[in-house]
Chains A and B, each alone.
Chain A
C-alpha cells in the first residue's frame, strides 16, 4: 500500500511529517469531514431529544427522577458497549456511530438544560404568571431564554466529548479521525499519521467549543461578562 511505502521510506518514523500531510491531504480532509459531520449529526439529534426531555422533567416534577436516571444509566454504559448494543441491529454503518453518540450525549444536555431551567428566579416566574402568560408562552418567552446558558453549557460539554468519542467508531469503520489514529497504529506504528489524527481531533473540539461559546455570548447579551462562563 501507498501509506506503508511512505512509512518505510521515512527515516526514524517522526511524530510530525509535512510529507505525510502533502501526500495524504485528501484522506486527512475526508476523515476530518466525516468526523465533523458525525459530531454535528449526533449533537443536533441529541439536543432535539434532550431539550424536550428536560422540559418534560421541568414541568412534571415526578418525571425528573426517572428521566435523569435513564439518561444517567445510558451515560454510565461504556461507549464501546453502546456501539456493541446498536451494531447487531443497524449494521456497520455510520448510523450505528451516530445512535451510540446520541445516547451518550443525552445526559449532559438534559442535566444542564434542567439546571438552567430550575435556576430561573422564582420572582421572574411569578411575574410572568402574574402577567397572564400561559405555561407554554412562559416557557418560550421566559424560561428557555433564561436557561440558554445552561443549555449551552450542556451543548459544549456534549460537543467536546462527542468529538473525542467519534473515534470509537473505528470499531465499525466510521471513526472519522479515529481511522487515521488507529490506521497509523496498525500501519507499522506510523507516528505522523497517529499524531495528525490526534491533533486535528483536539483542534476540532476546541474550535467547536469556541464557536458555541461565541453563540452563547451572542444569544445572551444581558449576561455578566466578568464571570467565567
Chain B
C-alpha cells in the first residue's frame, strides 16, 4: 500500500474504531432515519405519488447525513486533536479522505436500515434508486466532510454546518429524485457522478487551507 493510501486507511480505521467504542453517531443516525420515514409514512396520503415518496426518502437521507456530519470532527474538536494530525508529516488531504470514508461508512450503514424500511412503508426499490443513493453518498460525504471541518473551527458550528451543507445538497436531491423517477435515469446518474467528481476534487484540494490558520 502506498504511503498516502496507508495514511488514509489508518485515519479511516481510527474513526471506525472510535465509533465502534463510543457509539455516539451511528445509533442516532439509525434512529433518526427510521423515525423520519415512519413520520412520512403516516403524514403522506395513501394515494401519494412515487415521486413524492422518493423525495421524502432523499430528504431523510440528507438530514441523516447532516446528523452524522455534525459529529464528524467531534473527537478532534473536543480535545484539540486536529493539531496532532496536522503536525504529522502525512499529506493533510489524507485527513479529509480518511474522515470522508468514515462518514460514508456510517451513511451506508444507516441506508442499509433505511432502504428496507422505505420499501416496507412505501414502494419497492428500483436499481436506479439504489445506484443514485450510492453515487450521492460519495458526494455528500466528500463535500460534507470539508464543510464539517470548516464548521468545527467556528463557535456557531451547529448553525453553520446546515447553512453551508443544505444548499450544496440540493443538486443531490434533484439528481437523486430524477434518477429514481425519470424515464431516462442515465442522465441524472451522470449528473450525480459529475457532482461527486467536482466536489471530491475541490474538497481534496482545499482541505489543507481549511484546517490551517
A associates with B: no
Which residues of A approach B to under 8 Å, CB–CB? none
Which residues of B approach A to under 8 Å, CB–CB? none
